[in-house]
Structure 1
Amino acid sequence: MFQLHKTIVSEEILEKEFVCNLSACKGTCCVDGDAGAPLSLEETDILKEIYPKVKPFLRKEGIKAIEEQGTSVIGFDGEPETTLIDGKDCAYVIFDGKTALCGIEQAYNQGIVTWKKPISCHLYPIRIKEYADFAAVNYHKWHICDDACDLGKELGVPVYVFLKESLIRKFGQEWYNELDKIAQELKK
């Protein structure tokens, strides 16, 4: 672990390799597990605001879940998360054949909304835990991402490089540049 500005960062994000492999996993992270994607309070407001624009991209089951439970819910841990369909699929998930995709991201890709998706989704397999004075930046290992780890190794892409866009979105360009400098130093 090392400190970078107001973050405590696990070296695993520099050492582990990862590249999402949707052709292998079919987006299982959006339909597996027992909780929705973690959200900040700001993101819960964004979801309320953009829902009318995102709704046409969603499946009827997702729309039903959102209209019954809300655009976000409070999870077992007392924190906000995305709504689930029958405790399984994220309510915002859509399918392209057998592959799960994000309906919010599809609306973003078509220029309908300016918010790509929850930062916790965009950052995966990095998980952020916010504390009063700092944020912990950790690598999260989940067996469903074994194919992504294998592809990352094959291509030689560290987690932090694969997630460059989302890390910059979360922490800024300066933070990322310093992270990259630390990674280069550790390689020596």
Structure 2
Amino acid sequence: MFQLGKTIVSEEIIENDFVCNLSACKGACCIDGDAGAPLDEEEAEILKEIYPKVKPYLRKEGIAAIESQGAYITTEDDELETPLIDGADCAYVIFDKKGTALCGIEEAYNQGDISWKKPVSCHLYPVRVQDYSEFAAVNYHRWHICDDACSLGKELQVPVYKFVKQALIRKFGEDWYSELEKVAEKFQEQNS
């Protein structure tokens, strides 16, 4: 672990390689698991605001889940998340013609209907950020459904932190990312 500003960062985001391989996993991270995408308060409000523009892109099951649960939910632990369809798929998930799970929010963004890409937790994956009162922990999350992404990342030699560059900049800013790159360079020099 190393510190960058008010973050504690795991070396694993430098040591490990990762490139999403949607043709292999079919977007399983959006449909597997038992929780929705983590949200912060600002993102929850954004979801409420943009829902009317995102709704046309969603499946009827997703619309039903959102209209019964809300644009976001609050868990028993007081955490904010996207709602799920029957405890499985994210309510915002859509599928392409090949059966690959995609994000309805991101599709509305790609079509120019909204200016917000998607929850930062989704954009950051496989990096997970846990906020604490004094700092944020930045960690690499391993999930067996991403084994193909790890293999592709290794083949293409793309470290996790480079794969999620835009998301890290979105979350922490350009200066923070520049500092991360310096740490990564030193780390790679020491380990080559």
Fold match by TM threshold 0.5: yes
Q: Which amino acid aligns with 1:23?
A: S
Does 1:167 pair with 2:168? Answer: yes
Q: Report the Cα distance in structure 2 between the residues aligned to 1:76 and 1:127, rounded to whole angstroms.
A: 20
Q: Report the Cα distance in structure 1 between the residues aligned to 2:83 and 2:161, rounded to whole angstroms.
A: 28
Partner residue in 2 for 1:129: 130
Structure 1 unpaired stretches of 5+: none
> What are the residue-to-residue correspondences of 1:1-188 with 2, within 5 Å?
1-97=1-97, 98-188=99-189
Q: Report the Cα distance in structure 2 between the residues aligned to 1:170 and 1:43, rounded to whole angstroms.
A: 12
Secondary structure of 1:127's aligned partner: strand
Q: Report the Cα distance in structure 2 between the residues aligned to 1:107 and 1:124, rounded to whole angstroms.
A: 20
Secondary structure of 1:18's aligned partner: coil
Q: Report the Cα distance in structure 2 between the residues aligned to 1:12 and 1:77, rounded to whole angstroms.
A: 28
Q: Which amino acid aligns with 1:111?
A: G
Q: Report the Cα distance in structure 2 between the residues aligned to 1:77 and 1:144, rounded to whole angstroms.
A: 26
Q: Report the Cα distance in structure 1 between the residues aligned to 2:112 and 2:75, rounded to whole angstroms.
A: 30
Structure 1 residue 76: deviation in Å? Answer: 4.1
Q: Which amino acid aligns with 2:142?
A: K
Q: Report the Cα distance in structure 1 between the residues aligned to 2:140 and 2:112, rounded to whole angstroms.
A: 31
> 1:18 touches 1:162 (CA, 8 Å); kept in 2?
yes
Q: Which amino acid aligns with 2:114?
A: V
Q: Report the Cα distance in structure 1 between the residues aligned to 2:18 and 2:140, rounded to whole angstroms.
A: 11
> 1:18 touches 1:158 (CA, 8 Å); kept in 2?
yes
Secondary structure of 1:136's aligned partner: strand
Structure 1 runs of 4+ aligned residues shifted over 4 Å read none
Structure 1 residue 44: deviation in Å? Answer: 0.4
State how many pairs are aligned: 188
State, as a whole percentage, how many aligned pairs show the same letter.
72
Q: Report the Cα distance in structure 2 between the residues aligned to 1:79 and 1:155, rounded to whole angstroms.
A: 36
TM-superposition CA deviations, 1:90-113 (whole Å, max 9, x none): 000000021000000000011110
TM-superposition CA deviations, 1:102-139 (whole Å, max 9, x none): 00000001111010000000000000000111100000
Q: Which amino acid aligns with 2:183?
A: I
Q: Which amino acid aligns with 1:121?
A: C
Q: Report the Cα distance in structure 2 between the residues aligned to 1:155 and 1:40, rounded to whole angstroms.
A: 33
State which drifts further: 70-79 or 91-100: 70-79
TM-superposition CA deviations, 1:16-73 (whole Å, max 9, x none): 0000000000000000000001000111000000000000000000000000000001
> 1:35 touches 1:75 (CA, 8 Å); kept in 2?
no
Secondary structure of 1:129's aligned partner: strand
Q: Report the Cα distance in structure 2 between the residues aligned to 1:16 and 1:140, rounded to whole angstroms.
A: 11
What value does the CA root-mean-square deviation take over the aligned residues?
0.6
